[in-house]
Chains A and B, each alone.
Chain A
Amino acid sequence: MRGAALGILLAGGVAHANTVRGSIAVPEASRVAEPPSGHWRVENGVLPVAVRAPELRGEIVVVLEGGARKEGAEPPSVTVELRGLKLDPRVIVAPMGATIEFKNQDRVPHTLYADNATSVMAPQPTPAGQTRAQKFAAAGEYRIRDQDYPHIDGTVVITQTPYAAAVDEKGNFKLDVPEGKYTLRVWYRGGWAVTQPLEVAGRTTEIAVQVPPQKRVEKARGE
């Protein structure tokens, strides 16, 4: 699964491919956990609370817009698992026309829908062990919710360009793209956190992106 998530390298089979390697760093402030949904959230008083690195994998995707388009490439199919009452990964990136398969690995049915585009993805129960395939024809960001479990929250980012990838646990990514000038955009925590130009000229292009701490993220469509 992890390999599948990291392997969302949508570009492939490109002549004169150049590799873009990069890493995404998020500010410490963004590592603060979400506020409690209930009244209380207190430490146990016996052991220190386990400090976990922010979930970069499955939370950040990188997109290179512009450059030459791939011709004749079939839209890929991306699988998202529902396990432990959560989406894995939470953020999925795919080109237009891609089919997202939601595989229910829980013991309870899930009724997923696109919160900001119910006409595209209407609420539909997916029994335990079943898979729901949903095709997204238009580019955009689709927020996926579950009618029965409000905490289940994910995002499907559909791009016009095939050059997009998700980062690993450390925030690293790799893209094979043709030479050219691109616009690099980083999706983090529900919005486009970084947008900057990127010129791919050499065989390998290294880039390090720092998500600004006070950067107000651009909300997804319909939010």
Chain B
Amino acid sequence: MVWSRLWLFVITVACALATVLALLAPRPIQRDLERESGARLERAQHAASLLLKVNARKWMDTAAQVATDAVLVEALEQATRGPADLGLVHKTVQERLRYFNDKMKVDLVIATDGKGRVIARAGLDEGVYKDGVEGFPLVADALRGLRGDDTWSLDGKLYRVAASPVIARDRYAGSLVVGEAVDGALAQSMKQVLDVDVAFLLRGRVLSSSSQPAVLSRLPSLVEAHAGELEQAGHSPPLAVDEGGQRWLVVLAPFVGEAAAHRAAYVLMVPRPPEPSVGGLVSGLLSSDLKTIPWVSLAPVGGALLAALIIGFLLLRVESDRPLKRLAREAQALARGDVQRLDDDRHPGKLGAVARAVNTTLDRIGTGSRPPTPRPSSPRLTPPPRHDSGRQDRPSQPPSPPIRLDSPRPSPPPVRLDSPRPSPRPRLDSPRPTPPPPPDLLREQTPLREEPTLPRSEEPKPPLPAEATPVVDASMILQSLGDTDQQATDLHRSAGPDFVDAPQLAALPPTTTGGPAGVGPPRSFDDEPTVANPAAARALLGIMNDSDKLTAPQPRLSPEDEALEAELHQVYQDFIDTKQRCGEPIEGVSYDKFVGKLKANRAQLITRYSCKTVRFQVYIKDGKAALKATPIT
């Protein structure tokens, strides 16, 4: 039991540790995944800044290419030199701008003269011209001969613009600005390159995005909160944002250019790895990793677990199951009467304690009012040898001497007492059967032998033969009477299955049938009766007939008779209780008939074995109540 408990404890601790590890193991993985997602976002932001810079250069080159258009150059030179028909120049320039606008798919084209005055527009406010835009640093630089790019916030929209000077021979004749709107198309193109979601913000609102997650509503406040960081570092660290049940990781970065003052920013977003959970882990394994699990590498782990289970089962079987079964078998043998005590030395640990407790109970009940006899050094009384197996539980102990009725002093054979014939109706003056006691109490009250208190080796020999066992089965007495009277036969038959031969009878040594005082071999009473003493059977039947006279006045009893009556009454109650416990009917068992039979049997046995008295014990045989008589010297 100790090892099985220790093994169970070890297994439990191992399982608990494994569970804790299974719950905690995803956390470092989760951190690594989030760290990796953050690094991925930072790389994406770096790539995005490069992408925007390269894209700005492309637009700058486009502006420079358009600025070389001869028509534009000529028209802007005229406008710069003035006086000229500015309306005509405007139309000319605007036609060219529309042409390029359609050709290059730009969203904004502006042409200015050398003073920064707008000559024509395309894509935005096409009807407006003659206004000055030289205040834009980008235009001012272009008028000086520099190419550059910028971001403008115009009419609530964000444009990425590039400008180039318009050169007319040896002088600067104006500037040309092209622009691209920052919208969903740009977000989608950036997403294709960066493999992350992209959103654009301007003045605290989301302009456009590559997708529409719920986290978009949180982005303006994030940009406001990290404005200083964006200005200083050029981007924010990866930020975890949970919104609408969605978990995202975002990186904020401002647009380079004038619109940065309007909080123009782009946001790169990736979904955060899901929260670690056992369910998620299992579902993930089942959905994607089941086919790729390295079963070969896991085989040692599975084998170790299987070995642990087998060891645990073996330990349980060795330390728990087998002793329990052994104790159960011995308890059944005790119930059958095959043994008189439990062999507590054979049972380890607490089972031995249980066996000792049972033996102590047997001692206490078996001694009656007498104090328990101290146990001798070898207190066990081994069960009688069995005919069927011939095997003894403890070969070292000498077997009980066989009871031989043909010996000079016949030993008392086991006596079976037939259960009374069921009466049509119970007698009114008979004691009412008491309800069965609880199982524990029943166990303590079960069949009782006197022998444990009478070790043969130490106690003085009674007048009985030295080798005779004092245990006598009442049924054997009935058989030994040798009565072939039909009444006796009926009596045996009336007992029905209650009197089927018990293994105890089979264990008894064979006796000579029909001898002077012999007892027939153990047999069932259903067999043809071979009663050895018909006179005793007749006497018993005569008592039974007398006991039917219930209305006859009873003489006053002596104290000894009262004690006998009380004892027989107790035996009757035990018999009734046992029958009820076994589920047998008790309607036909009348007290007077039962006690009458017991008295007759008692008288027979006292006469036969010269004993002082006879103790009747109720026990269960094959699931039914049976009775056993023991001569007490």
Q: Is the CB of A38 within 8 A of B128?
A: no
Known: A42-B60, A47-B167, A49-B146. 9 other contacts (CB 8 A): A33-B141, A39-B149, A39-B256, A44-B167, A47-B165, A49-B145, A50-B145, A85-B134, A151-B136
How far, in Å, is B119 (CB) from chain A's closest CB?
A: 14
Contacts of B136 in A (CB 8 A): 85, 151
Q: Is the CB of A49 within 8 A of B131?
A: no
Determine if A198 is an interface residue (Cβ-Cβ < 8 Å): no
Query: With A and B bound together, what is the CA distance between A47 and B60 in angstroms?
Result: 17
Query: With A and B bound together, what is the CA distance between A40 and B58 in angstroms?
Result: 11
4 tightest A-B contacts by CB?
A84-B132, A85-B135, A86-B135, A150-B261
- The winner among A39, A52, A85 for most chain B CB atoms within 10 A is A39
Determine if B148 is an interface residue (Cβ-Cβ < 8 Å): yes
Determine if B52 is an interface residue (Cβ-Cβ < 8 Å): yes
Determine if B612 is an interface residue (Cβ-Cβ < 8 Å): no
Determine if B116 is an interface residue (Cβ-Cβ < 8 Å): yes
Determine if B515 is an interface residue (Cβ-Cβ < 8 Å): no
Select A38's contact among B56, B117, B143, B170, beta carbons within 8 Å: B56
Considering only residues 146-180 of chain B, those with a C-beta below 8 Å from chain A are 146-151, 153, 162, 164-165, 167, 170-172
Q: In terms of DSSP, what is the predominant structure of the interface of chain A?
A: loop
Contacts of A71 in B (CB 8 A): none
Interface residues of B, count at CB 8 A: 41
Q: Is the CB of A41 within 8 A of B146?
A: yes
Instruction: Report B119-131 CB contacts with A as 1/0, cut-off 8 Å.
Output: 0000000001001
Query: With A and B bound together, what is the CA distance between A55 and B146 in angstroms?
Result: 18
Select B150's contact among A37, A50, A85, A108, beta carbons within 8 Å: A37
Select B137's contact among A37, A49, A52, A107, beta carbons within 8 Å: A37
Contacts of B132 in A (CB 8 A): 83-85, 106
Q: Is the CB of B146 within 8 A of A43?
A: yes
Contacts of B143 in A (CB 8 A): 50
Determine if A152 is an interface residue (Cβ-Cβ < 8 Å): yes
Determine if B629 is an interface residue (Cβ-Cβ < 8 Å): no
Q: Is the CB of B262 within 8 A of A39?
A: no
How far, in Å, is B204 (CB) from chain A's closest CB?
A: 13
User: Are A43 and B257 also in contact (CB < 8 A) when A37-B150, A84-B132 are?
Assistant: no
Q: Is the CB of A149 within 8 A of B145?
A: no
Q: Is the CB of A34 within 8 A of B137?
A: yes
Determine if A46 is an interface residue (Cβ-Cβ < 8 Å): yes
Binding site for A on B (CB under 8 A): 52-53, 56-57, 60, 64, 116-117, 128, 131-138, 141, 143-151, 153, 162, 164-165, 167, 170-172, 256-259, 261-262
How far, in Å, is A35 (CB) from chain B's closest CB?
A: 10
Q: Is the CB of B259 within 8 A of A150?
A: yes
Determine if A36 is an interface residue (Cβ-Cβ < 8 Å): yes
Query: With A and B bound together, what is the CA distance between A46 and B166 in angstroms?
Result: 10
Q: Is the CB of B135 within 8 A of A151?
A: yes
Q: Is the CB of A38 within 8 A of B150?
A: yes
Considering only residues 2-35 of chain A, those with a C-beta below 8 Å from chain B are 33-34
25 A-B residue pairings within 8 Å (CB atoms): A37-B150, A38-B56, A38-B138, A38-B149, A38-B256, A39-B149, A40-B56, A40-B60, A41-B146, A42-B60, A42-B146, A42-B148, A43-B147, A44-B145, A47-B145, A47-B172, A49-B144, A50-B143, A50-B144, A85-B134, A107-B128, A148-B153, A149-B135, A151-B258, A152-B135
Binding site for B on A (CB under 8 A): 33-34, 36-44, 46-50, 52, 83-86, 106-108, 148-152
User: Are A50 and B135 also in contact (CB < 8 A) when A38-B56, A40-B149, A41-B146 are?
Assistant: no
Contacts of A83 in B (CB 8 A): 132
- The winner among A34, A38, A42, A47 for most chain B CB atoms within 10 A is A38
Select B133's contact among A36, A47, A84, beta carbons within 8 Å: A84
How far, in Å, is B260 (CB) from chain A's closest CB?
A: 8
Q: Is the CB of A38 within 8 A of B146?
A: no
Select B57's contact among A36, A40, A46, A106, beta carbons within 8 Å: A40
Smallest CB gap from B161: residue in A: A38
Select A150's contact among B148, B171, B262, beta carbons within 8 Å: B262
Query: With A and B bound together, what is the CA distance between A50 and B170 in angstroms?
Result: 11
How far, in Å, is B165 (CB) from chain A's closest CB?
A: 5
Contacts of A150 in B (CB 8 A): 153, 258-259, 261-262
Select B52's contact among A37, A39, A52, A149, beta carbons within 8 Å: A39
Smallest CB gap from A48: residue in B: B145
Contacts of B147 in A (CB 8 A): 40-44
Query: With A and B bound together, what is the CA distance between A42 and B142 in angstroms?
Result: 10
User: Are A39 and B137 also in contact (CB < 8 A) when A50-B145, A150-B262 are?
Assistant: no
Select A37's contact among B138, B162, B170, beta carbons within 8 Å: B138
Q: Is the CB of A36 within 8 A of B165?
A: no
- The winner among B52, B132, B171 for most chain A CB atoms within 10 A is B132
Contacts of A43 in B (CB 8 A): 145-147
Contacts of A107 in B (CB 8 A): 128, 131
Query: With A and B bound together, what is the CA distance between A148 and B131 in angstroms?
Result: 16
Query: With A and B bound together, what is the CA distance between A193 and B135 in angstroms?
Result: 25
How far, in Å, is A13 (CB) from chain B's closest CB?
A: 37
